[in-house]
Structure 1
Amino acid sequence: MRDSTDTTGAAAKAPHGIAEVARSAGVSSRTLRHYDAIGLLPATAVGDGGLRRYDDRALVRLQRILLLRGLGLGLPEIRRVLDGEQDDVTALTAHVAWLERERDRLARQLAAVRTTITRIEQGEDMNATDTFDGFDQTKFKQEVEERWGADAWDRGARWWESKDADAKRAFQAEQRAIAEDAAALAASGAAADSAEADALARRQFAWLAQATPPAELTADRFRTLADMYVQDERFTHAYEWAGAGASRALRDAMHALADRGL
């Protein structure tokens, strides 16, 4: 798929530079280079200085990678899926069906929250059915088990229940402090591989490691969690309350740390 040199012909075949692709897809150039290095998304052409360029087919593949990451698949699983399928249209049609289900679920959640606001303002009693329409916490359990093993959810739940009230408050306070620092990082415009971003990512790793055995908190899992902070609204709000761009700044910092090695 790759040309060894970026000749005029190669550039014509691959009109999209890495900076353009990264900006449009909402990922870092470092992430694209990592995808290239592991063979998940090889650049179509590489010119002098290692400048990567991509053709339209590569853009389609990246779109599918991002969609599959949104479904919670790790990079090895995504590569197996993509390499085992030849028909992009069929695969993307399946993605469309999933996205439509997500759109409907979000619409129901939005309506439920608006109803809750109205009832609070008007002093009306809550209705359990309306209040939780579109909220399915069992989906969390299924996603965690599919990603990280059948007992991952139960182990996490047991860990949380083993903590006393003070420990739980301290854990939650650290998460809020990380969110505030992520918002500050976003506002500063510091690069994902800056000292500030590195410190933030290491702090997030230490926070996650409290509940996850160190041997299981791999670079791939760390990246997957980072992506979830941006792609899954159930996680995004835990950081974006502190300031716009907080979840993306944290994600990029975590990716950069994972790329360097945890």
Structure 2
Amino acid sequence: MKKQLAAVFASAIAATGLVACGNDDKADDATVTIGTTDSAKKAWSVWEDKAKENGINLEIENFSDYNTPNQALTQKQIDANLFQHLDFLATYNVKSNSDLAPVGSTEVVPLALFWKDHDSIDGIDGEEVAIPNDPTNQARAINVLKSKDLVKLKKDDVAKPTPADVDTEKSKVKLTPVDAAQTSTAYFEGKPAIINNTFLDRAGIDPKTAVLQDDPSDPSTEPFINVLVTTKDNVDNENLKKLVELWHTPEVQKAVEEDSKGTSVSVDRSQEDLQKILDRLEEQNK
């Protein structure tokens, strides 16, 4: 009888152990912390749900500015971030002597010119165009205007032009660099303005009313591919790769389309391709 009771007791312990292990496995789903500046957008909640379905607990940490997410990642306070394009990342890496790296791509959001009560650039000659004054958006804005010969550069091979590179006598418009947050103010004052999506959304300006924008399929927009970023020693992390894959699922892409009002263009480039672009951009920034 004692032997039988011992056997039953042992079996019960084993069974309990198996149940406990099963629960632990479920509780031990991978947790990934990602920093962003756009956590309120619908795409993030849909992405979080898709991650959960695939065994990844996605913890989203929102930041109020564009500098802190990279600093937090460098200090390994978070596992990755998703808020920036390659050109911004290249500038950060060079200035801070960091080696943050892209895991995968998400989309390109066109940078566009808006002109209140106009549906084309007809009649824009002689106008003052407000452009963002931060280095990355300023250079991109000048290239948008250059694409339609609204500005001429003193030298065409300048990758990141500034107003000093513009030949004012040969240009059709004048440039007025302002803080990016003030570009929408200029628009409402009746001036043509190049406004990025963040401030379009805040000002309630319909992205589809743009009179001119850059072409996401053109190689010149490669620097502006948005990327999921991590530390150099973590680029092969399978959970991060899976998150990139999940970003491109129909459910998340539908939410991205809603968030951007149909302006975002999905981009799915390999980690190797993205790193090559980043290396080139970093070289240009040195």
- Shared fold, TM over 0.5: no
Q: TM-score range by the shorter chain?
A: under 0.3
- Give the TM-score normalised by the residue count of structure 2: 0.25
Higher relative contact order (CA 8 A, sep 6+): 2
Which is greater in Rg? 2
- Give the TM-score normalised by the residue count of structure 1: 0.26
- Give the number of the structure whose residues are more often helix, by fraction: 1
- Give the number of the structure whose residues are more often strand, by fraction: 2
